[in-house]
């Protein structure tokens, strides 16, 4: 059987002769009609011809133009490069998928098609990478000038307001008045900590008439450990965090929580974003002895997995590549706001990301392995009397297997059985002005260093996507919607920015201050735009019903964790303990049988150990915690860059009848009685302040 890319000598000679004849005597259309079309008519027209009435997979082989247009899954021909063309791969003996399904082209017929493809001028190629480089999100980041606008100090208090007001002025709109102080402090508390303020904190803020009153509240909240618990949860949505693997066995991941705690601690420390990126993508390369850096590499391991049923041989390799696909897709979406994974089987349908780009990213991760590493400096437990050695604490990590990179081939249609040409590591061509260099490992290196190169490129101040995406995510969680309404898709099928100059201003600020989020939070929250009331205005609503121009603050529903945590705060039962293994509160007994593996324990009565913040609730893929799932907590199967906001009757019914809610309501009543004493009026006042603050 002939091997890929190595036709017999006679066929090669024939191919050369055919190329010479075609280029000397035939126009492109003539070469197709005289030499290629008869081959397609003989083998393919029953399934791939408009004339026959069948165009399977969207592939029409009737004309030169339709062949070059390709199938619904992408191009089948790379002009000038027969060896890289799916058409040629499929017709060779042993090709997978093999075409035609029954039968085999002769060596001469294969050589004819190879010669035609090689003779095609490269200009006829639809080059996805070259197309769309001028897309707004890929352009270099600039710091736009702050517009000069008219307005009172209460309407334009910082540059953010100037950008917003400039857009409002164009439409002849005026912003609504500021929010009342009780509304404003509640908004700030939930935005930064996910918890409600206490009545005492509300009263103190109302009584503080100083110009810096709200700034003091913001500073206090940004310094609170609850800040990291709130904003860490947003990041965990992006990485598909879970404490179990999912699928049939739903295997427990006893060390996953270390990554969750790493994220929370990173936000609380206001870790520079460039460092945050580098640790997660290449922590083992940049700081192999640092616990945080090793834990951070768990970034690439939080998707669904099936470790006890990975198959053998080719199936095992397919499983490995599927796992890496999750890592690549999450990297693209979380850091760059691009759906890179769509290019695994064919060139991206909308964005300038070619299939080759995808596999160059695969070459970056292809030598990684999943390991449970011992904690640095922690002695391993000793064997017991029977010689059995227990497993000590571990780090769920994704690390390099060594300095010798595994060869990476492009896979036609993403099929492990259908390898194409070998590719080198790289980044999407449309995102760089010249080829990005991935140097070979230095002598004595312990890893390939490829992930460090990728992380440095992503975290560079010169990478416009990184900072635009991050600035947009921060804005999104303060207003309920990003300046780009599709936070995980900055590509051509995503939404354009409503305020492109403001987005670039915020992104430039982030890049300039080292990617620290807390100053950006403060700038946004001190703006008049953020502090506006959410009340509607009939005139503005008629012109801008979606509030895209931000003439008011958006009304937002509390997220699932804030609903549960708020109940615990009001009842006075919230356990502030941070970190550690996930907790498993009570679940209705009739739901427990749904979890056949890695079973959730039956809890008859909850106590303080169960009443910790919801970010610490064990995330079990086979049985998501019902109260959180009901209020749209993510499924953890895919990257969640924007939660759904459902409104269904069962939400109200659960808040009335759920055993947890009823238990906490009883404790709330006990708290009110203890705080206010026996008088009914005092109890009513205390209950209202606690519940409505």
Q: Among candidates 312, 434, 423, 323, which has minimal Cα distance to 370? A: 323
Residue for token pair 């009685």:
673
Q: What's the pTM value of the predicted model, to 2 decimals? A: 0.88
Structure confidence at residue 85 as a pLDDT band (50, 70, 90): confident
693 vs 686: CA distance, rounded Å: 11
Mean local confidence (pLDDT), 562-584: 98
pLDDT of residue 523: 98
Contacts of 30 (CB under 8 A, 6+ apart): none
pLDDT greater than 50 at residue 21: no
pLDDT greater than 90 at residue 308: no
Interval 31-69: pLDDT, tens: 898 899 999 988 998 899 888 888 888 899 989 989 988
212 vs 488: CA distance, rounded Å: 36
Angle between helices 659-676 and 560-571 (to 10 degrees): 40
Cis amide bond preceding 316, omega within 30: no
Q: What is the DSSP letter of 617?
A: B
pLDDT of residue 124: 47
Interval 437-465: pLDDT, tens: 999 998 899 999 999 999 999 999 999 99
pLDDT greater than 90 at residue 578: yes
Structure confidence at residue 153 as a pLDDT band (50, 70, 90): low
pLDDT of residue 123: 55
Q: What is the DSSP letter of 436?
A: P
Phi-psi region of 246 (alpha: psi -120 to 50; beta: other; left: phi over 0): left
Q: Among candidates 616, 604, 621, which has minimal Cα distance to 663? A: 604
CA-to-CA separations, 546 to 468, 494, 540, 596, in angstroms, rounded: 22, 17, 10, 45
* Under 8 Å between Cβ of 77 and 58: no
* Under 8 Å between Cβ of 463 and 428: no
Structure confidence at residue 584 as a pLDDT band (50, 70, 90): very high
Taking the CA atoms of 445, 451, 454 and 455 in sequence, report the sign of the dihedral they define: negative
pLDDT of residue 23: 46
Which of 87-91, 328-332, 367-371, 473-477 has the lowest average pLDDT? 87-91
- Measured from the Cβ of residue 17, the count of other Cβ atoms closer than 10 Å reads 12
pLDDT of residue 449: 96
Range picked from 55-69, 127-141, 222-236 for highest mean pLDDT: 222-236
* Under 8 Å between Cβ of 340 and 349: no
Burial class (CB in 10 A: 0-12, 13-18, 19+), 581: middle
Instruction: Classify each residue of 354-369 as buried b or exposed e, where b means 16 or more C-beta atoms within 10 Å of its C-beta.
Output: bbbbbbbbbbbbbbbe
pLDDT greater than 90 at residue 297: yes
Alpha helices in 480-577 (DSSP H): 500-512, 517-525, 538-543, 560-571
* Under 8 Å between Cβ of 343 and 412: no
**Coil/strand/helix, residue 614:** helix
Structure confidence at residue 154 as a pLDDT band (50, 70, 90): low
Taking the CA atoms of 412, 418, 420 and 422 in sequence, report the sign of the dihedral they define: positive
Our CA dihedral for 578, 580, 586, 587, rounded to 10 degrees, sits at: 120
* Under 8 Å between Cβ of 632 and 646: yes
Dmax over CA atoms of the chain, in Å, equals 105
Contacts of 225 (CB under 8 A, 6+ apart): 268, 576, 578
Interval 609-667: pLDDT, tens: 999 999 999 999 999 999 999 999 999 999 999 999 999 999 999 999 999 999 999 99
The 3-class SS string of 141-159 reads CCCCCCCCCCCCCCCCCCH
615 vs 563: CA distance, rounded Å: 12
* Under 8 Å between Cβ of 203 and 220: no
Burial class (CB in 10 A: 0-12, 13-18, 19+), 528: buried
pLDDT of residue 97: 75
Beta bridge partners of 397: 371
Percent of the chain with pLDDT over 70: 94
pLDDT of residue 10: 47
Q: Among candidates 175, 173, 171, which has minimal Cα distance to 161? A: 175
pLDDT of residue 28: 55
pLDDT of residue 14: 45
46 vs 7: CA distance, rounded Å: 27
**Coil/strand/helix, residue 244:** strand
Beta bridge partners of 57: none
């Amino acid at each position: 059987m002939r091997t890929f890319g190595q036709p017999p000598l006679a066929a090669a000679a024939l191919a050369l002769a055919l190329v010479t004849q075609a280029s000397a005597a035939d126009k492109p259309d003539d070469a197709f009609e005289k030499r290629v079309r008869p081959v397609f008519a003989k083998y393919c027209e029953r399934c791939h011809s408009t004339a026959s009435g069948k165009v399977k997979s969207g592939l029409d082989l009737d004309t030169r133009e339709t062949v070059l247009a390709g199938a619904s899954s992408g191009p089948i021909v790379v002009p000038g490069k027969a060896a890289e063309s799916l058409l040629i791969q499929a017709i060779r003996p042993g090709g997978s998928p093999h075409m035609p399904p029954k039968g085999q082209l002769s060596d001469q017929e294969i050589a004819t098609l190879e010669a035609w493809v090689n003779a095609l001028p490269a200009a006829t190629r639809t080059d996805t990478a070259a197309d769309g480089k001028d897309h707004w999100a890929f352009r270099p980041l600039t710091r736009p000038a702050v517009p000069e606008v008219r307005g009172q100090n209460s309407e334009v208090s910082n540059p953010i307001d100037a950008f917003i007001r400039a857009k409002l002025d164009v439409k002849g709109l005026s912003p609504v008045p500021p929010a009342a102080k009780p509304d404003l402090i509640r908004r700030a508390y939930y935005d930064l900590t996910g918890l409600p303020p206490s009545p005492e904190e509300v009263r103190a803020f109302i009584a503080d008439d100083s110009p810096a009153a709200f700034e003091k509240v913001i500073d206090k909240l940004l310094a609170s450990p609850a800040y990291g618990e709130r904003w860490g949860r947003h990041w965990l949505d992006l990485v598909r965090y879970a404490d179990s693997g999912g699928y049939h066995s739903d295997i427990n991941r006893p060390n996953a929580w270390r990554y969750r705690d790493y994220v929370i601690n990173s936000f609380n420390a206001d870790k520079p974003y460039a460092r945050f990126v580098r640790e997660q993508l290449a922590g083992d390369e940049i700081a192999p002895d640092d616990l945080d850096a090793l834990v951070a590499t768990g970034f690439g391991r939080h998707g669904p997995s099936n470790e006890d049923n990975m198959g053998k041989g080719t199936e095992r390799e397919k499983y490995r590549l599927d796992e890496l696909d999750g890592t690549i897709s999450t990297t693209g979406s979380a850091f760059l706001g691009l759906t890179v994974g769509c290019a695994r089987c064919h060139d991206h349908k909308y964005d300038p990301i070619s299939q080759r780009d995808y596999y160059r990213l695969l070459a970056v991760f292809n030598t990684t392995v999943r390991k449970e590493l011992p904690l640095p400096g922690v002695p391993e437990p000793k064997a017991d009397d029977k010689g059995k050695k227990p497993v000590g604490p571990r780090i769920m990590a994704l690390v390099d297997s060594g300095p010798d990179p595994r060869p990476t081939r492009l896979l036609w249609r993403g099929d492990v059985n259908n390898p194409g040409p070998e590719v080198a590591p790289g980044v999407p061509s449309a995102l760089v002005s010249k080829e990005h260099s991935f140097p070979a490992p230095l002598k004595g290196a312990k890893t390939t260093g490829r992930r460090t190169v990728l992380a440095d490129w992503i975290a560079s101040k010169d990478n416009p996507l990184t900072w635009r995406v991050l600035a947009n995510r921060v804005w999104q969680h303060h207003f309920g919607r990003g300046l780009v309404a599709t936070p995980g898709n900055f590509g051509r099928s995503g939404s354009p920015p409503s305020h492109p100059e403001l987005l670039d201003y915020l992104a430039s600020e982030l890049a300039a201050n080292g990617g620290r989020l807390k100053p950006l939070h403060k700038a946004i929250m001190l703006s008049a735009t953020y502090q506006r009331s959410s009340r509607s205005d009939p005139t503005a609503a008629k012109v801008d019903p979606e509030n895209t121009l931000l003439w008011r603050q958006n009304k937002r529903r509390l997220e699932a964790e804030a609903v549960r945590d708020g109940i615990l705060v009001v009842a006075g039962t919230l356990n502030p303990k941070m970190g550690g293994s996930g907790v498993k509160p009570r679940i209705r007994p009739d739901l427990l049988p749904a979890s056949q593996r890695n079973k959730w324990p039956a809890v008859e009565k909850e106590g303080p150990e169960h009443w910790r913040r919801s970010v610490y609730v064990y995330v079990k893929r086979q049985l998501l915690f019902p109260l959180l799932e009901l209020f749209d907590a993510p499924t953890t199967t895919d990257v969640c860059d924007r939660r759904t906001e459902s409104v269904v009757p069962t939400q109200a019914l659960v808040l009335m009848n759920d055993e947890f809610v009823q238990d906490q309501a009883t404790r709330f009543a006990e708290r009110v009685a203890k705080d206010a004493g026996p008088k009914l009026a005092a109890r009513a006042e205390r209950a209202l302040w606690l519940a409505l603050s």
